[in-house]
Structure 1
Amino acid sequence: MHPAWPVLIVVHAVAAAYSILFGAFQLLRRTKGGAVHRVIGRIWGAAMYVVILTSFGIRTLNGGFTWLHALSVFTFFTVSIGLWAARTGRIPAHRSYMTGSYFGILGAFVGVVAVPDRRIPQMAVNDLPGLVVWVACILLTAGFAVAGTVLLSRQKKSLRPAPSSGL
């Protein structure tokens, strides 16, 4: 049976899952730059910073750091520069930094689940129903966040006054 999940690892895993889902949503959407993109982007950025910051509390069994910690330092800078690029209107740079950051977290995820002794693979072997419930909760809450953001954006658009004809 897998050992108990400390709060730090739970927060880290949930934020990482949200980062992967919201990042995929952003990359797959055709429309960029609108209200939905900005809101989901802020959620994604916050989740990324949570993943980065919590990663430094997760150490190896001997208390050391791994290549994933170096990736966290690098990702802190790429996400920060990407946000700054968006704020300053440098959209190609924003796109590049955010896309790179997203693929970095995907790489970290693959690195984590590829090691059989890690918690997620152990949960898949020893507590598959628990893992299924966990994944379903993440998918549902992320889906509700996206759906709510899209609906609020559409509602806000429909409440705007029609542009005047200038007559």
Structure 2
Amino acid sequence: MDLQPLIEASLPVRLHVAAVLPAIILAPVLLLGRKGTRRHRLLGRIWLAAMVLTASTALFIHEIRLLGPFSPIHLLSVLTLSTCWVIIRSARAGRVAAHRSAVLSLVWLALVGAGAFTLVPGRIMHQVMLTPQGWVGGAILAVIAAMLVVLAWHPASSPFRRPKGLA
């Protein structure tokens, strides 16, 4: 693992990475833990704030330019912000299925999908995590991959299984 590319990155990139780290850590804790508890609500608020900050900082990253200063990742940021609003509204209204669906969509699309995209050769996180001289980045990715397998297998957090009672 080589942090130098991240240290040398622009301020929005560094803020973006700092914002997404708590979201990555809290996602499996929230998805696999008991729902509706005081702890779930507190950690959920922290997770949601991290996701809003992650999406907001991404709007200021313009390293991939496909349409003026914008790229498809900017559309994902807008989708993330609107999904965060859906998560809040559905939780407050007690619509558990809608809340769950919005959270899972955000986890799998914005964290897993976009996170995988950051590991493409030439991207900063590829340089940070997949350097030939270090094994730490590979070990971290192995742990993340194991967490994804557990999340995908676990019925409460899998995007591939329907919870009982939902048609």
Pairwise same-fold verdict (TM > 0.5)? yes
What's 2:20 paired with? 16
Deviation at 1:129, TM superposition (A): 8.2
User: Could you say which structure has the larger radius of gyration?
Assistant: 1
| Equivalent-residue separation in structure 1 for 2:122 and 2:41 (angstroms) | 38
Match runs of 1:114-133 below 5 Å: 115-124=120-129, 125=131, 128=134
Instruction: Report how many residues are paired.
Output: 131
User: Where do 4+ consecutive residues of structure 1 move more than 3 Å?
Assistant: 126-132
Match runs of 1:54-73 below 5 Å: 54-60=57-63, 62=65, 64-73=69-78
1:100 is aligned, of 98, 105, 108, to 105
RMSD in angstroms over aligned alpha carbons? 2.3
**Any unmatched runs of 5+ in structure 2?**
141-167
Instruction: Indicate if the aligned counterparts of 2:19 and 2:51 stay in contact, CA closer than 8 A.
Output: yes
Deviation at 1:25, TM superposition (A): 1.1
Structure with the larger helix share: 1
| Equivalent-residue separation in structure 2 for 1:10 and 1:50 (angstroms) | 12
Match runs of 1:18-167 below 5 Å: 18-29=22-33, 31-60=34-63, 62=65, 64-105=69-110, 106-113=112-119, 115-124=120-129, 125=131, 128=134
Deviation at 1:54, TM superposition (A): 0.3
Instruction: Indicate if the aligned counterparts of 1:2 and 1:123 stay in contact, CA closer than 8 A.
Output: yes
**Normalising to structure 2: TM-score of the pair?**
0.70
What's 2:148 paired with? none
Instruction: Indicate if the aligned counterparts of 1:2 and 1:126 stay in contact, CA closer than 8 A.
Output: no
**Any unmatched runs of 5+ in structure 1?**
136-167
| Equivalent-residue separation in structure 2 for 1:20 and 1:28 (angstroms) | 13
